Amino acid sequence: MAFRRLTSPCSVMPASRRQDVMEESMMTRQGWSNLAVCIASAAMLWLAQPAIAQDMVPASSTIETSSNVEPKDVQDETAPAAAPPPNQSSEAILASVRTQLAEGKLKLSANSTAALAKFYSAAQREPLWTTDTGLTVRGQNIAKVLSQAADHGLNAKDYRVAELEAEHSTSEQLASLEISLAAALLRYARHAQGGRLSRKQAGSQLTHTPIVSPPEEILSELVEQDDPSFYLRSLHPRHPQFAQLRAKLQEARGGAGQERGPRIPDGPVLRVGVSHAQVKLLRQRLGLLKAGDTKPEDNANTFDDALKQAVMAFQKQSGLAEDGVVGAGTRKVLSGQSPERLISKLLVNMERWRWLPDDLDGTADIYVWANIPELRVRIVKGTKTVFSERTIVGQVQNKTPVFSDKMEWIELHPTWFVPASIKVADILPSLRRPTSTVMERYNLRVNCGALGNNYKNIDWKTVDISKCNFTQPPGKNSVLGDFKFKFPNKYSVYMHDTHHRNLFRNTRRTYSHGCVRIKNPRRMAEILLDHDKGMTPERIGKILAGPKVLHKETLNRPVPVHMTYFTASIDDEGRLKMWPDYYGHDRQIALALTGKAFADPSAVATRPKPKKVKKAVKKKSWAESFLQSN
């Protein structure tokens, strides 16, 4: 403000003072000019400071920043530093993936190679499981599922888990890792859904094509799923039996299931009233006596009624005759089998579940399930078994086939059409005997076309019997009894009644030529016909009481029929039950699962040679043997 006063035009002062003021004012104006220059220079220096600072930092140095400032905030956006593109490593991996798939030198199936090549060739595609540092978190999680394949009855070696765990650094190695994991996932998914064994490996047991998701669908699901490991596990069978067998498998591999009682060595037959040192071992084996118990020795070594009940319970669980007597068969089962054989049996039966439809988990409306080794047939509605009965199945040389189909009709008072195998092996030798009366005795009919239908006028030594049709009409001695359940199939196999009901008392019931006989077919027919068309038991009774003529009831909705071969299952109490491997199918599947070939499936069991019978003993007539085996 003093400066304004000195220069004000209203100021009055002496001349000498005015001269001094003029000189002072000139000096002041010069000072202001210098100050303006300084301020302008300082402003330019402040604006240029970041660029200058950057130019002054050596290439090997880094810029120090505060803890809450990133280095990128210091750089000038108008002059970015040269840096590689952020996705360059992914692009290099993807390019190598495409190259390796195009070259076709990988150890992959043609289907997998084609599916992967199509998948990775898509625009905007990036590696799914790898980065420049190796497997992603998703990749590590899904590789863990592969390494735990044994928990679900598979073999981790089939998915080359060791290769996934190896070190990968170059883009070519990482691309190989990406492909290996993707291919392993496709293989795992196929195996989980039943595509592990071929028809040639499984033989006659694998008669249908498992429903395996196409590779494109699997890859798409793996991309879209938040948890791809959960998706992979969901591909295994959903039936409760599979989960329960899996739990038993884990026990057999080292859990509580390995704890077994003492082995019962060879010895005499043990039954009520017998006193023997092995009786004490038997009590220990069945859990009735512990090693430290102080029960008197005499009582411990004596077979009483309580022990008989325990033996019968064990026999029932093991599919043995429930007589309470410890003979050779019961003794063998009591001694158990090695953990290795038990594990093998569990794996074989878990694999069989992969071949069956998913709706057996309880979502199916109704189905008929005949388990051949168990010698039992069931009708299942949803998750509830509404019918369960004993069966008779094929002899070893006439095995009941394993397959699935649909029941289309039920016959009451059925007519029997004699199959070709019986015509050639049984009827023809009998008719060649001059004194044969089998046609009259069993009410058989024949039609040989131009040769007529009078069997007495036909030369059975020269005729081609395959061109003759033999039938048995409904009647008292009908081979099929009163009921026939038809589900057309290439094996000409069906379920039916029988008048040989005494055979159902036997433990081993392998007597037929391949068809399945049912102990209580009327009740089975009542359930199926009521479910399909509301047909009452009274209506069925009137038909049976009427004339002995064929009555056919066609089902409006064909019922699925599953002929299975499970030799191990879990009962309602959670106990493992095992059934005899009558046809030797277990061994064939076990060898196939371990990569070993089964040379001759038909030689699993061969027809035994007939024993020579002394002349003094009357041989069983052909008719008796024939009707027993049908």
Domain shared by 291 and 176, yes or no: no
Q: Which residue segment(s) compose the domain that 316 sits in?
A: 261-335
Name the DSSP class of 290. Answer: -
Lowest mean pLDDT among 69-73, 181-185, 302-306, 572-576: 69-73
Q: Pick from 12-16, 330-334, 552-556 the range whose average pLDDT is largest.
A: 552-556
Mean pLDDT in residue range 437-461:
90
**pLDDT above 50 (res 226):** yes
Q: Pick from 204-208, 251-255, 576-580 the range whose average pLDDT is largest.
A: 576-580
pLDDT, position 176: 92
Band of pLDDT at residue 377, cut at 50, 70 and 90: very high
Q: Which helix (H) or strand (E) holds 569?
A: strand 568-570
- Asked if the structure places residue 240 within a domain, the reply is no
The domain boundary residue, chosen from 55, 74, 97: 55
Q: Give CA–CA dist 152/135, Å, rounded.
A: 24
Q: Give CA–CA dist 241/215, Å, rounded.
A: 28
- Asked if the structure places residue 61 within a domain, the reply is no
Q: What is the pLDDT of residues 335-354, one digit of tens each?
A: 766 788 899 999 999 999 99
Q: What is the pLDDT of residues 266-286, one digit of tens each?
A: 889 999 999 998 999 899 888
Domain shared by 121 and 34, yes or no: no
**pLDDT above 90 (res 564):** yes
Which position has the higher pLDDT, 34 or 582? 582
**pLDDT above 60 (res 222):** yes
As for how many domains the chain has, the answer is 4
Domain shared by 538 and 608, yes or no: yes
pLDDT, position 494: 97
Q: Give CA–CA dist 394/373, Å, rounded.
A: 10
pLDDT, position 311: 92
**pLDDT above 80 (res 261):** no
Mean pLDDT in residue range 163-179:
88
**pLDDT above 90 (res 59):** no
- Asked if the structure places residue 347 within a domain, the reply is no
pLDDT, position 488: 96
- Report DSSP letters for 205-225, one per residue: G--S------HHHHHHHHHH-
- Report DSSP letters for 411-446, one per residue: EESPPEE--HHHIIIIIHHHHTSTT--HHHHTT-EE
CATH code: domain of residue 267: 1.10.101.10
Q: Which residue type does 234 have?
A: S
Domain shared by 219 and 285, yes or no: no
Mean pLDDT in residue range 480-503:
95
Mean pLDDT in residue range 157-183:
89
The domain boundary residue, chosen from 233, 251, 283: 233
pLDDT, position 204: 74
Domain shared by 330 and 390, yes or no: no
Domain shared by 462 and 596, yes or no: yes
Cα Rg of the chain, angstroms: 43
Domain shared by 273 and 228, yes or no: no
Domain shared by 305 and 215, yes or no: no
Give the helix ranges, DSSP H, for 13-123: 15-47, 49-56, 71-74, 88-103, 110-120
- Asked if the structure places residue 472 within a domain, the reply is yes
Mean pLDDT in residue range 483-503:
95
**Residue 319 falls in which region: left (phi positive, over 0), alpha (psi -120 to 50) or beta:** left
Domain shared by 447 and 518, yes or no: yes
Q: What is the pLDDT of residues 604-619, one digit of tens each?
A: 333 344 444 444 444 4
| Closest C-alpha to 161, from 137, 183, 138, 193 | 183
Give the alpha-carbon dihedral of 172, 178, 184, 186, to 10 degrees.
Answer: -130
Q: Which residue type does 290 have?
A: K
- Asked if the structure places residue 163 within a domain, the reply is yes
Which position has the higher pLDDT, 441 or 510? 510
- Asked if the structure places residue 194 within a domain, the reply is yes
CATH code: domain of residue 504: 2.40.440.10
pLDDT, position 334: 81
Q: What is the pLDDT of residues 577-607, one digit of tens each?
A: 999 999 999 999 999 998 876 544 443 333 3
Please state, in angstroms and as integers, the Cα–Cα distance from residue 543 to each residue in 342, 473, 529, 548, following that order: 49, 16, 13, 9
Mean pLDDT in residue range 92-100:
93
| Closest C-alpha to 441, from 425, 455, 461 | 455
Q: Give CA–CA dist 290/424, Å, rounded.
A: 60
Domain shared by 291 and 147, yes or no: no
Q: Give CA–CA dist 222/524, Å, rounded.
A: 45
- Asked if the structure places residue 67 within a domain, the reply is no
Q: Pick from 61-75, 286-300, 404-418 the range whose average pLDDT is largest.
A: 404-418
- Report DSSP letters for 441-461, one per residue: HTT-EEE-GGG-S-GGGS-TT
Which position has the higher pLDDT, 247 or 292? 247
Domain shared by 213 and 279, yes or no: no
Lowest mean pLDDT among 102-106, 254-258, 275-279, 410-414: 254-258
pLDDT, position 600: 43
Q: Give CA–CA dist 467/447, Å, rounded.
A: 9
pLDDT, position 523: 98
Q: Pick from 98-107, 152-161, 293-302 the range whose average pLDDT is largest.
A: 152-161
Dihedral of CA 293/294/295/296: which sign?
Answer: positive
Give the helix ranges, DSSP H, for 335-437: 339-353, 420-422, 428-431
Q: What global pTM score does this model have? A: 0.74
Mean pLDDT score of the chain, rounded to an integer? 81
- Asked if the structure places residue 77 within a domain, the reply is no
Task: List CB contacts of 386: < 8 A, sequence separation 6 or more.
Answer: 379, 380, 527
Counting residues of the chain whose pLDDT is more than 70, the rounded percentage is 78
pLDDT, position 441: 85
**pLDDT above 50 (res 73):** no
- Whether 518 and 377 have beta carbons less than 8 Å apart is answered as yes
Domain shared by 116 and 178, yes or no: yes
pLDDT, position 607: 35
Which position has the higher pLDDT, 206 or 541? 541
Lowest mean pLDDT among 43-57, 205-219, 555-569: 43-57
pLDDT, position 83: 43
